[in-house]
Amino acid sequence: MQPSTERPNATQSGTISFDNTEIAFRSKSDSELNRAYWLFKMIASNTLVKVGTPITNFALNIGLPITGIIKKTIFEHFCGGETIEGCDHTIAQLAAQHVGTILDYSVEGEETESAFDHVCEETIETIQKAATNPHIPFSVFKVTGLGRFELLEKVNAKQQLSPSEVEEFERVKARVDKICHFAHQHHVAVLVDGEHSWIQDVIDDMARDMMMKYNREKPLIYNTYQLYRHDILAALKTDLYLAKESGFFLGAKLVRGAYMEIERERAAEYGYPSPIQPNKSSSDRDYNEGIRFCLDNLDRIGFMAGTHNEDSCRLLAMEIDQRGIARNDSRVYFAQLLGMSDNLSFNLSESGYNVAKYMPYGPVKAVMPYLFRRAQENTSVAGQTSRELALITREKKRRKTKAGR
Ligand SMILES: Cc1cc2nc3c(=O)[nH]c(=O)nc-3n(C[C@H](O)[C@H](O)[C@H](O)COP(=O)(O)OP(=O)(O)OC[C@H]3O[C@@H](n4cnc5c(N)ncnc54)[C@H](O)[C@@H]3O)c2cc1C
């Protein structure tokens, strides 16, 4: 797609507020709001998440009939459905509030050639869907969905590959190219997710190759820049330089980064300097600088701010207005994950900015690793769960008062 031009009445002045819980939870019925409340209450308990994860896995593996419960609770909150068509209802719900969908096939773990081919075909189907649905502005994939992690690690470390590994790696590159070629043919933008630093050079190289090939007319392939790494702001600048030199458009998804703990642990274990910033405020500083840098170079860059950070969203909204950029300019997007930070997504979209949400989907059992990570992230990202809980509680109270209950 390309972003819709029909927008709701935008607030044309003043600083954006993310406090309006009526807007944030408009699409949720009372019972859905209650479910979200209990869900985040449970997630807030570190112990429950720690204990619940292996128990749920065990129960699923021995075939206990818990899929139904999972589906009705955590799955329905964080996922769109089990299939692309199964997501239609949620896509329409978001679209009703002018929020786009990014279909994210979130099946993880199986490392066979047929599983990689299947992920490639499924991703192509999401692109096909996006090509015919104006409410799906991007598709997305992870390179580890298309090739073995250990193989990528070996290539990243510039280790000698065996002849069969050389062929295997060629197949990974062919899958990436197949997806990007299809996206180019159908004019659908595609995000390449960022992963662990010890495979990220390979991902960056592939994404750059794809940008050089398919971003000749406009930004279509977007690589991810994880600004919790101290070297990534510089990498973003270098990539822009390359884009200018080589005549392509840069697509950039800016995130802080999801693998901080494991990155630090690995660096300590193998005795190399951690790639992660020394502290949170350095990550925040580079993230916000990345936003300004992209805005400064909008003639060559299309970018997405993938973040649940209120200050960064406020900064981007403010900069868009101050620079006189149209709020629905297709080169700038905000993005959050389904089921999280709805106060940011819906208040931004209500004000006329471009917003999309990652919508994970797949069979319940197969997306469990994704759901466990969401639960763990919500316990580990300081403040995220209490923020969600405070907003839901406020909205519950507001509805009660309004109904005179
Ligand atoms: C739409 C979307 C797409 C995403 N795609 C990716 C992706 O492709 N790859 C990926 O890795 N992540 C991705 N993420 C996750 C993202 O990187 C963050 O982990 C998550 O969004 C939390 O960061 P934040 O900006 O939302 O907000 P905040 O809550 O303000 O920031 C938390 C983040 O700050 C950083 N941080 C926290 N403490 C410290 C510290 N002491 N020192 C240094 N840094 C610190 C960490 O990155 C932490 O995750 C995505 C997130 C969204 C919303």
Please give the Cα distance from 208 to 202 (Å, whole number). Answer: 10
Among residues 277, 275, 339, 340, the alpha carbon closest in space to that of 313 is found at: 340
Model pLDDT, residue 87: 98
Query: pLDDT tens digit string along 304-335?
Result: 999 999 999 999 999 999 999 999 999 999 99
At 110, the pLDDT band (50, 70, 90 cuts) reads confident
pLDDT over 90 (residue 404): no
Q: What is the pLDDT of residue 73?
A: 81
pLDDT digits (tens, 9 = 90+) for 275-291: 999 999 999 999 999 99
pLDDT value of position 378: 59
Give distance in angstroms: CA of 64 to centre of ligand 1: 34
Residue 284 C-alpha to ligand 1 middle, in angstroms? 10
Is ligand 1 within 6 A of the CB of residue 343?
A: no
Amino acid 56: pLDDT? 72
In the structure encoding, which two tokens stand for residue 73, read together? Answer: 């609770």
283 alpha carbon – ligand 1 mean position (Å): 9
Q: What is the pLDDT of residues 323-378, one digit of tens each?
A: 999 999 999 999 999 999 999 999 999 999 999 999 999 998 888 888 877 776 65
**Phi-psi group of 362: left, alpha or beta (phi > 0 → left; psi -120 to 50 → alpha; rest → beta):** left
Mean pLDDT of 3-23: 68
Measured CA to CA, the distance from residue 345 to residue 356 in angstroms comes to 8
Residue 199 has pLDDT above 80, yes or no: yes
Say if residue 170's pLDDT is above 70: yes
Report domain extents, the chain: 16-79+368-405, 83-361
Q: Which CATH architecture has domain 83-361?
A: Alpha-Beta Barrel (3.20)
Q: How far apart are CA 123 and CA 126, in angstroms?
A: 5
- Which ligand 1 atom sits nearest the alpha carbon of residue 287? 25
Burial pattern 318-353, b for ≥16 Cβ within 10 A else e, equals ebbbeeeebbbebbbbbbbbbbbbbbbbbbbbbbbb
**Which structure tokens are listed for 276?**
């992660």
Ligand 1 centroid, distance to 45 Cα (angstroms): 21
What pLDDT, in 10s, does the model give residues 27-81? 999 999 998 998 888 777 766 566 666 767 666 677 766 777 888 888 888 999 9
- Determine contact, residues 281/261, Cβ cutoff 8 Å: no
| Position 381 confidence tier, pLDDT thresholds 50, 70, 90 | low
Confirm or reject: Cβ of 141 under 6 Å from ligand 1. no
| d(C-alpha 105, C-alpha 85), whole Å | 12
Looking at residue 52, what is its pLDDT? Answer: 66
Q: Which residue's CA is the nearest one to ligand 1's atom 2?
A: 306
- Note the pLDDT tens digit of each residue in 213-266: 999 999 999 999 999 999 999 999 999 999 999 999 999 999 999 999 999 999
CA distance 121 to 67: 26
Q: What is the mean pLDDT of residues 5-23?
A: 70
The three-state secondary structure class of 396 is: helix
